[in-house]
Amino acid sequence: MLKYMLQNDEVEYTQENLKELQSTINNWNKKFKKIQSNFPFKLPNYIVDEIIDNEDSNDFSNLHYLINCAVINGRLTEIHGKMIKQAYP
């Protein structure tokens, strides 16, 4: 059986990565809650991911395609899809 021993600098690097990952997750969760609070229905995570990924560029064309797919697949109603598109034109 092989055992891999981490060196001190590797442990520190891994701990830094874990802290950075936890910070990223916390940041995403905060943004998710803020976005979700604007709608009286549950948004699919991939819709929220797209909103968060493009919030700086304000280019939501791909979001609109995802919304259309979600409506077709029954993940969102047409009314809910229109509500999201109005919020993110």
Rounded to the nearest 5 percent, the helix, strand and coil shares of the chain are 65, 0, 35
Q: Where are the domains of the chain?
A: 43-89
pTM given for the model: 0.76
Mind listing the pLDDT tens digit for each residue in 39-81?
A: 999 999 999 999 999 988 888 999 999 999 999 999 999 999 9
Using CB atoms within 10 A of its CB, is residue 81 exposed (0-12), middle (13-18) or buried (19+)?
A: buried
Q: Is the pLDDT of residue 7 over 80?
A: no
Q: Is the pLDDT of residue 1 over 60?
A: no
Residues in the chain: 89
